[in-house]
Structure 1
Amino acid sequence: MTTQTTRARSAGATHVGRPGFAWAIPATVFFALFAIAPLIMVAVLSFMSWNGLGSPAFVGLDNWTRVFDDPVMIESIWLSLLLTVLGVALQTPLSILLGVWAAGRQRNRAVLSAIYFVPLLLSSTAVSVLWRGLLDPNFGVPSEITWLFGDGNLFGEQATAIGVLAFVSTWQFTPFHTLLYQGAARAIPPVLHQAAEIDGAGRYRRFFHITLPQLRNAVITSTILMVVGGLTTFETVLILTQGGPGTDTTITAFYMYQKAFKGFDFGAGAAIALVLVAAATVVSLIVVRVSGYDKMRSAMEGL
């Protein structure tokens, strides 16, 4: 009798502790209203001609044809991919090293980490305005250190302008990804490092053979966030370069802004927005597929 009562209570506890579908309704409604519905509206608008006034007129594939026949649009896609690749290549190793360091017990670690995470408190607009002033060719740092920066106009050539954009993005967003790696590094069981140390493994060997493999999921998550953030960068380009010189830093998100809100061609802007959504989705899926995260997750669910 006692055994049956215990089993019944256990079953009841399990049933109560398992969340039902009703718990997902608020999030589902929120996502549908603020993500799915606007995306559908943008998709419909991409087949319309609308200047912001009057009623939209259906034009079929005209917007899509004009967008992909525009050489500036094609160049903007490559520039967006270039900035995304540079962001991943620069931020990933820095974030991993700083995150692993911040997860340790070094002296003054907490104070230094707090100072380093200050950029997380600033908006992209504030960061862009800050660096625009610091790198101003007339009154900024480059004008004082001519032996290093030449004429000081870092925004006058494509290579240096792209370098500035990559540097500012790295300065601003590396602390965020560092937090991800810091949490992941602290979740690594200490017994793994202790066993490796007993076996004679040094600090660098433990880092490459224990820490990095254990950070795999964090690397995938961080990379996907970097990809999406890199493809949708807007404020930094708007304030620092305004797409110049010429169209040398006109990335896709900024080109969408120019088409829709400066050229009042909202149909073409909507088509460009859908291209951005598709690109971010495809690249994210490729990252997940190449990393083998989906297979690893399926194997863990089957245990």
Structure 2
Amino acid sequence: MVTLSAPAKGERRQSQRPGPGGRGVARPGLGWALPATLFFALFAIVPLALVAVLSFTSWSGLGSPTFAGFDNWTALFHDPVMIKSLWLSVLLTVLGVAVQTPLSILLGVWAAGPQRNRAVLSAVFFIPLLLSATAVSVLWRALLDPNFGVPAQARWLFGDGNLLGTRTGAIGVLVLVGAWQFTPLHALIYQGATRAIPTVLYQAAAIDGAGTVRQFFHITLPQLRNSIITSVILMVVGGLTTFDTVLILTQGGPGTDTTISAYYMYQKAFKGFDFGAGAAVALLLVLVATAISLIVVRISGYDKMAGTKEGL
């Protein structure tokens, strides 16, 4: 008779899972995460730390940086253009989330279905995802040209055709271009998540008499909760760090009406040769993006749900 003894006090029991032969196999140790950790530290943590240090210096790009204390940060919060750029970044991000989220959910759910020619149509729609942001911006710049673009051919709809000449028009174009390019990415996320939903849920709902719309709101959307959180966080980070689209389409104009924080950082560092101030703007963007992402996770309750799953 074999007696199983309980682990001694202070001894940690190693969790095991059955292997191919039925024998217990220990979970991978922390050593497996070492390569990814080193890669992340080398290309993310170290550059971020260097930017943080640079934000407290004065450097024109030549010679050695000189310590400036909190001068860059003080000037930053007293600069009306910087405050305006931050609000514009948040505005574009909110508008991007509001436009892209419902479109990507509907497209992703549709693409996960068995419709005829679904695969071909999905592939066509996902083409913008294969293009670089620079190519997309140049394309839309030509399409929206007030002299020979689409607005010039439909002045009854666009007036003088200079959409990028007004604040409302320029912001609307930036939101449209961002949605056109990145909605397919988030639709792919929802497509994969929708296909992972057990079909037995829809079968049971159909037996109870639930139609397509009711199944969507009572089964599909709740099951996509985690994917929605992930998608929104990606949109927030992408929206706050948008740069090349603004550089090519509006260059911060008209005036400073589309000078978002990332473009303002470019102006400070690479046009004004004040890399210390540019680093301060970059670090502030990182803090804002992190704070908004944490707020999204907190409001959604994803952290509590993850903790409950770990406890199980």
For normalisation by structure 2, the TM-score amounts to 0.93
- Which position in structure 2 is the counterpart of 1:32? 41
2:10 aligns with none
Displaced runs of 4 or more, over 6 A:
7-11
**Separation in 1 of the partners of 2:138 and 2:144?**
10
Provide the residue aligned with 1:58 in structure 2: 67
User: Per the alignment, do residues 181 and 54 of structure 1 end up closer, same or farther by CA in structure 2, a change over 3 Å counting?
Assistant: same
Equivalent runs, 1:14-25 vs 2, <5 Å: 14-15=25-26, 18-25=27-34
Picking from 213, 217, 238, the partner of 1:229 is 238
User: What is the DSSP-based 3-state SS (H/G/I as helix, E as strand, rest coil) of the residue aligned with 1:14?
Assistant: strand
* Structure 1: runs of 5 or more not aligned: none
Question: In 1, Cα distance between the equivalents of 2:21 and 2:304?
Answer: 33
- The one of 170, 182, 199 equivalent to 2:191 is 182
Corresponding residue for residue 179 of structure 2: 170
Matches within 5 A, 1:1-303: 13-15=24-26, 18-303=27-312
Please give the root-mean-square deviation of Cα atoms over the aligned residues, in Å.
1.7
Say which SS state the counterpart of residue 239 (structure 2) adopts.
helix
The 2-side partners of 1:286 and 1:89 are apart by: 17
Q: Separation in 2 of the partners of 1:270 and 1:163?
A: 29
- Tell me, what secondary structure is at the counterpart of 1:152? coil
Using a 3 Å threshold, how does the CA distance of structure 1 residues 11 and 47 change in structure 2: closer, same or farther?
Answer: farther
Task: Rate the CA distance shift 1:11–1:162 in 2: closer, same or farther, 3 A.
Answer: same
For these two proteins, the number of residue pairs brought into alignment is 298
- How far residue 20 of structure 1 moved from its aligned partner, in angstroms, is 1.2
The CA deviation at 1:302 is 1.0
Deviates more, 1:282-291 or 1:23-32: 23-32
**Paired position in structure 1 for 2:15:** none
Closer, same or farther: CA 268–109 of 1 in aligned 2, 3 Å: same
Letter in 1 for 2:51: V
Letter in 2 for 1:14: V
Q: Secondary structure at the match of 1:104?
A: coil
Q: Find the aligned partners of 1:264 and 1:180 in 2 and give their Cα distance.
A: 40
Larger helix proportion, structure 1 or 2? Answer: 1
Query: In 2 relative to 1, CA 139–8 (structure 1 residues): closer, same or farther, beyond 3 Å?
Result: closer
Structure 1: distance between partners of 2:41 and 2:210: 51
- Matched-pair identity in %: 74
Residue deviations 1:236-266 (CA, integer Å, cap 9, x gap): 0000000000100000000000000010000
Contact 2:19/2:25 (8 A) holds in 1: no
Alpha-carbon deviation of 1:138? 1.1
Going from structure 1 to structure 2, the CA distance change for 1:157 and 1:8 (only over 3 Å counts) comes to closer
Q: 1:123, 1:43 → 2: CA distance?
A: 29
Tell me the distance in 1 between the aligned counterparts of 2:87 and 2:303.
Answer: 28
Structure 2 CA distance for aligned equivalents of residues 11 and 58 of structure 1: 63
Q: TM-score, normalised by structure 1?
A: 0.96
Residue type of the alignment partner of 2:73: W
Residue 13 (structure 1) shift: 3.9
